[in-house]
Structure 1
Amino acid sequence: MTAVSMVLTLAVVVMWLGGSMPVLVALVVGLGIDGGWLATLAYERRLAAQGDHSAPVTAVGWFFGLIATAVLIAHAAGEQSPGAWLAVAWLPLAAKALWLVHGLWERTALTGAALHSIQGIQQEARDDAAVARARLRAEAATEETRLTAVTQAGARVARVQAKTAQTLSRAWSTLETTRAGKDTGRALTCVTSRVTPDVTPTWELPVWGPVEPVPVPALEPGPALTDAELDRLVDDIRTSETPALSYRDMAIRFRSAGHSASEVRLRAAWKRVA
């Protein structure tokens, strides 16, 4: 587009100024416009390659582009059919704008190695996401299977318990009906009276249902024995038989009688009374 714009500018300058001045002069003017534009463009590209930028150089480049566009528009205004020349009058500015876009692209351009690394990272991220989705689906399916199995097992247990309770209820009802019969007690008494004479048994079924627990009072330890009391008890147990009991037999009878004392105190009392 830059080359086309330079050719069009040179041709228009030669045709426009060729009638009022020598053709060589008009050619020099056209080459001056194109040369200035090309020089500023080359310098701007050199600065961009070095990572630098110059606002004056950019402004001069745009200035030459505007001159070329103005020449094309002025030439089109003097023609009988200006449409064709106006259609190409925007090419210098468009070429300059495309060079600007190309500079922006170069600032963000990456090498092949960097692009390959980016593609590898993106592919790795996609692989990890796919593996994570597959793992979640598998865990969800496993959990669903486990819950289904647990639910079915619980349902089977509930059905067995209900069936067992129903069977026990029917059996209990049969036993209760039999016990409450008119001839049941007389028949049972007739059978047991030969084994336990003068004893009338009572035929009661155990309780079917919840039973309230009977509280059992805790045993409270008795008061501690004094040394004198301990010596007296040891002496009484020791001399309760002839010959006198040994320490082992005395200790067994002492504790069997419900008395309590530590082994140290009991052996000390034994030594005192023996």
Structure 2
Amino acid sequence: MRTKTALPAVAMTAVSMVLTLAVVVMWLGTAVPWRVALIVGLGIDGGWLATLAYERRLAAQGDHSRTVTAVGWSFGLIATGVLVAHALTAESSAGAWLAVAWLPVAAKALWLVHGLWERTALTPMALDAIQGIQQEARDEAAVARARLRAEAVTEETRLTAVTAAGARVARVQAQTAKALAGAWSTLETARQGEGTGRALTSVTSPVTDAVTARWALPVWGPSEPTRAPALEAAPALTDDALDALVDEIRHSEDPALSYREMATRFRSAGHSASEVRLRAAWKRVA
């Protein structure tokens, strides 16, 4: 690569020096001896070549001199000026000489480009390492993009499944609530009916030993839990005491309370008794 960038500059420099020498000899040969013209042309080309060689040596050492660079451009501009002046004073082929008058400046520009390439050139090993790093970065980026796309598809599938399951649960809950509301509505209608108690009493009277039971269906609504400290602190009641207490609570109002109302007041008062004993006492006093 170094040869590819240096060859054009070398070739254009050589052509520019030859043209400059030829123009100086032809232009000054009519006014001064050709040997003098040859010395002038060689002086211009020699100065240009010397400054170029010195500039190249400084570049090889990693150094740079603005003075040397300015002198080299000066010789290049002098050579260009000579070619332009010759083209303007030539009686024939002025256009052709003007067409090649830019070669010295172009040669200096090519050497500038070659110097920039040398300052930024890397070894093949470094280039291979850079290519490997870039390839690795591209591979990681591609893998990351594929992972993100897969995660996005997975999340979309999960959200779709969760949404469908939530919709099914909502439908089941709505159906259950509707069925439960209908059941409680039927139960409330039965509880409000005038013949419900009589019908249940007539059905159960053969097995209750002639004890008239007062029936009360459950009510849809909140309930208050019995306080645990009151239950723990309440003493155990004997059957006689329990019967007397149940009878007292039952007849605390007129008409007599139902079993459900009596049981609620019994436990609210802080008394403790199992459901079996309480029902047995109710049957005895009723």
Whether TM-score is above 0.5 comes out as yes
Q: Which has the higher contact order (CA 8 A, sep 6+)?
A: 2
Q: Which amino acid aligns with 2:95?
A: G
- Cα 1:8–1:119 change in 2 (3 A) is same
SS of equivalent to 1:211: coil
Per-residue deviation, 1:121:
0.6
Residue correspondence of structure 1 range 112-123 to structure 2 within 5 A: 112-123=124-135
Whether the 8 Å contact between 2:197 and 2:216 is mirrored in structure 1 is: no
- Cα 1:184–1:38 change in 2 (3 A) is same
Q: Distance in 2 between matches of 1:218 and 1:102?
A: 103
Is 1:9 paired with 2:35?
no
Q: Which amino acid aligns with 2:66?
A: A
Counterpart in the other structure of 2:66: 55
Q: Which amino acid aligns with 1:122?
A: Q
- Cα 1:196–1:218 change in 2 (3 A) is closer
Residue-pair matches, total: 221
SS of equivalent to 1:68: helix
Task: Point out the more displaced range, 149-158 or 10-19.
Answer: 149-158
Whether the 8 Å contact between 1:13 and 1:27 is mirrored in structure 2 is: yes
Q: Which amino acid aligns with 2:59?
A: A
Q: 1:23 aligns with which of 17, 29, 34?
A: 34
Q: Distance in 2 between matches of 1:197 and 1:29?
A: 152
Q: Which amino acid aligns with 1:19?
A: T
Q: Distance in 1 between matches of 2:176 and 2:23?
A: 111
- Cα 1:177–1:95 change in 2 (3 A) is same
Q: Distance in 2 between matches of 1:190 and 1:55?
A: 126
Q: Which amino acid aligns with 1:40?
A: T
Counterpart in the other structure of 2:77: 66
- Cα 1:209–1:157 change in 2 (3 A) is farther
Per-residue deviation, 1:207:
2.5
Whether the 8 Å contact between 2:201 and 2:214 is mirrored in structure 1 is: no
Q: Which amino acid aligns with 1:146?
A: R
Q: Deviations over 1:31-63 (max 9, x none)?
A: 222122112212211221122223332232122
Q: 1:160 aligns with which of 132, 149, 172?
A: 172
- TM-score of the aligned structures, taking structure 1 as reference length: 0.72
Q: Distance in 2 between matches of 1:139 and 1:4?
A: 66
SS of equivalent to 1:217: helix
Whether the 8 Å contact between 1:179 and 1:203 is mirrored in structure 2 is: no
Per-residue deviation, 1:69:
1.4
Q: 1:142 aligns with which of 140, 143, 154?
A: 154
Which runs of at least 4 in structure 1 moved beyond 6 Å after TM superposition?
A: none
- Cα 1:56–1:193 change in 2 (3 A) is closer
Q: Distance in 2 between matches of 1:147 and 1:208?
A: 38
Counterpart in the other structure of 2:116: 104
Counterpart in the other structure of 2:279: none
Whether the 8 Å contact between 1:10 and 1:34 is mirrored in structure 2 is: yes
Q: Distance in 1 between matches of 2:58 and 2:215?
A: 118
- Cα 1:66–1:209 change in 2 (3 A) is same
Counterpart in the other structure of 2:137: 125
- TM-score of the aligned structures, taking structure 2 as reference length: 0.69
Q: Distance in 1 between matches of 2:163 and 2:214?
A: 47
Which residues of structure 1 form unaligned runs of 5+?
222-274
Which residues of structure 2 form unaligned runs of 5+?
1-11, 234-286
Counterpart in the other structure of 1:242: none
Q: Deviations over 1:207-253 (max 9, x none)?
A: 224334344435799xxxxxxxxxxxxxxxxxxxxxxxxxxxxxxxx
Q: Which amino acid aligns with 2:14?
A: A
Q: Distance in 1 between matches of 2:74 and 2:64?
A: 17
